[in-house]
Amino acid sequence: MRRPRLAAAGLALAVVAAGGLASAARGDAPERVSRYVTDDRGRVLTLHGFNTASSAKSTPDALPELTEADVETEYRAMGTNFVRFLMQWRAVEPSPGVYDTKYLEKVAERVGWYAKRGYHVMLDMHQDLWGNRITPDGRAGNGAPGWATHLDGLPVAGEHDTWELYYLDPGVMRAFDHFWNTTGEHPELMDHYARAWRAVADHFKDDPAVIGYDLMNEPWGGSVQGAAFENGPLAELYRRTIAQIRSVDQDNWIFVEPQAVGVNWGLPSGLPRFDDPRAGEPRIGLAPHVYPLPLDLGEDYVGASREWTDTTLGWWRSNMLRLAERQGGPVILGEFGLDTTRPGATELVERMLEMTDEVGMGRAYWSRDPGPWGPYDGEGRPGPLVPVYARPYPRAIGGVPRQIAYDRATHALTVRFDANGSGPTEIYLPADEFPRGGRVTGALSSSWDPDRRILTATTAASGVQTLTVTPS
């Protein structure tokens, strides 16, 4: 983990504390989200999965280092049903206005590996630090193509002890200022980005596994920050991209992210509401990230930093629920993660799973890559994350959820919902705690699929239903 200078850490904590206290003081946040992603039967989906994968940032073909066997392993071990799949603009549009169909076909092949196993896929146009061409060795940033990278000869450090400091290098700042047209010299770049998304949406609009598009990973405003950025150039990019996507795809969900700085730590976002030009109900959702500042500063989820982390998670939860209420859409927690070998780490993951269950958010852990943050080490051996992420959850719910709660002590999962006749509720049960499947109360009938480890419970088609599942 990173350990920046104490002064910087203290300043960051002070900023977060001030902003967070202001957020907490409002106290008007909703308890849960009000909209959900549903399957083609209208059942509400609980999206539970990984970011796959950070390796796509640096591979020459911009594809994650992933095999179909890896997807099978993930399902068998943790029963996930969702993936935030990383893509790169550099691969979609290798030269201005030219879209690489072969790359999109290779992405589609990998989407097919997930589709065969009942997964839902959100495509993420991923960037960090702008793009691979901010340094001559191409190893610092990722995302944007070389032809869209304009540093104007300004310096970018050869090395930074904490990678995010590259965002402040003059060359990187200038690349972003050109993209957002803050410089007034490159009005074309945002339209290229929006049209690249149209090409992606045109390719995946009929793919049944793809539920939606995450428009930009962790946007950075360069010289324009905070509400001025989120209400200014960022909102403009989102509006143009929504229009381009909807010109070819009327039905997939479109997810927008607030700026990363501050909001990842629990501060409020100024992101405005976005209209959806599609006929019928709008399908614009939010895909924020959360990385509590104490952990970002190298502390562990123990003692005082655990208390401080819990406080900031409370701010994050309230602020994102307020943002979701403004947008009127679902929320997928697009990223959360940490070094799972650190003290308290798996308890933080458990806390995040509990919280997203409580408020009705989907979640994608960062990330699926091998290493101490991920579920497997470099040799494919499972780490401490696997048993925590192999959590009972209702993959698909036959109504609007009111409560999803798993009690690890009693191994009892409670799913309460307003039934709407959309179909039976499907519940994943991990082998560790449910070796012989589960016993369910509150259902009219149920069945157990031992191969996929899914309990299917049929209830009345209306009224409040409460399913309680315990080990057989």
Ligand X SMILES: CN(C)c1ccc(C(=O)NC[C@H]2N[C@H](CO)[C@@H](O)[C@@H]2O)cc1
Query: Which one, 217 or 244, has the nearer CB to ligand X?
Result: 217
Buried b (16+ CB within 10 A) or exposed e, 203-228: bbeebebbbbbbbbbbbbbbebebee
Question: Which of 186, 164, 163, 169 shows the shortest CA–CA distance to 237?
Answer: 186
Least distance CB 222 / ligand X (angstroms): 10
Q: With respect to ligand X, which residue has the nearer C-beta, 219 or 394? A: 219
Stretch in the footprint of ligand X (CB under 6 A) among 7-15, 212-220, 378-386, 432-440:
212-220
Ranges within 265-294 binding ligand X (CB under 6 A)? 291
- Residue among 128 and 169 whose Cβ is closer to ligand X: 128
Site string for ligand X, 14-43 (x = CB under 6 A): ------------------------------
Nearest residue to ligand X by CB is 164
Cβ-based neighbours of 106, under 8 Å, separated by 6 or more: 61, 63
Q: Are 443 and 458 in contact (CB under 8 A)?
A: yes
> How far is CA 322 from its chain centroid?
18
260, 297, 323, 361: which one contacts ligand X (CB under 6 A)?
A: 260
Q: What does the DSSP assignment read for 103-161? A: HHHHHHHHHHHHHTTT-EEEEEE--BSSBGGGSTTS-S-BSB-GGG---TT----S--S
In terms of Cβ atoms closer than 10 Å to its own Cβ (0-12, 13-18, 19+), residue 40 is: exposed
220 binds ligand X (CB under 6 A): yes
What is the total count of residues that contact ligand X (CB under 6 A)? Answer: 10
Q: Does 426 bind ligand X (CB under 6 A)?
A: no
Q: Least CB distance from residue 250 to ligand X, whole Å?
A: 29
Residues, the chain = 472
Q: Over the Cα atoms of the chain, what is R_g?
A: 22
User: Of 80, 142, 149, 217, which lies in the binding site for ligand X, with binding defined by CB under 6 A?
Assistant: 217
CB of 100 or CB of 164, closer to ligand X: 164
CB of 414 to ligand X, least distance (A): 32
DSSP per-residue string spanning 448-464? EETTTTEEEEE--SSEE
- Which listed residue (177, 218, 257, 300) binds ligand X by CB under 6 A? 218
Using the rule CB under 6 A, is 189 a contact of ligand X? Answer: no
Question: b or e along 163-197 (b: 16 or more beta carbons within 10 Å of the residue's beta carbon)?
Answer: ebbbbebebbbbbbbbbbbbbeebeebbebbbbbb
Please choose, out of 186-194, 202-210, 215-223, 344-352, the segment that lies near ligand X by the rule CB under 6 A.
215-223
Nearer to ligand X, 177 or 335 (CB): 335
Binding of residue 207 to ligand X (CB under 6 A): no
- What character string, x for contact with ligand X (CB under 6 A) and - otherwise, covers 147-186? -----------------x--x-------------------
Asked if 369 is part of the footprint of ligand X (rule: CB under 6 A), the reply reads no
Side-chain-side CA neighbours of 406 within 13 Å: the count stands at 24
Which of 74, 128, 177, 230 forms a contact with ligand X (CB under 6 A)?
128
Strand partners, 214: 124, 255
Residue 263 or 443: which CB sits closer to ligand X?
Answer: 263
Which CB atom, from 144 or from 440, has the smaller least distance to ligand X? Answer: 144
- Nearest of 219, 442, 11, 464 to residue 455 by alpha carbon: 442
**Smallest separation, CB 338 to ligand X (Å):** 9
Contacting range for ligand X; rule: CB under 6 A; set: 32-40, 216-224, 233-241, 427-435: 216-224
In the complex with ligand X, the residue whose CB is nearer, 261 or 390, is: 261
Tell me how far CA of residue 110 lies from CA of 203, 287, 291, in angstroms.
14, 22, 28
270, 269, 338: which is closest to 309 by C-alpha? 338
Q: Which is nearer to ligand X, 128 or 230 (CB)?
A: 128
Closest separation in Å from C-beta 258 to ligand X: 12
Q: List the interface residues with ligand X, window 310-339 (CB under 6 A).
A: 335
C-alpha distances in Å from residue 125, one per residue of 89, 142, 216, 218, 304: 7, 11, 5, 10, 36
Q: From 14-22, 214-222, 340-348, 449-457, give the range in contact with ligand X by CB under 6 A.
A: 214-222
User: In terms of Cα–Cα distance, which of 258, 244, 249 is closest to 194?
Assistant: 244
CB-based contacts of 128, cutoff 8 Å, min separation 6: 57, 141, 142, 143, 163, 217, 218
Is residue 335 within 8 A of residue 289, CB to CB? The reply is: yes
Q: How far is the CB of 138 from ligand X (least distance, A)?
A: 16
Write out the residues near ligand X by the rule CB under 6 A: 128, 164, 167, 217-218, 220, 260-261, 291, 335
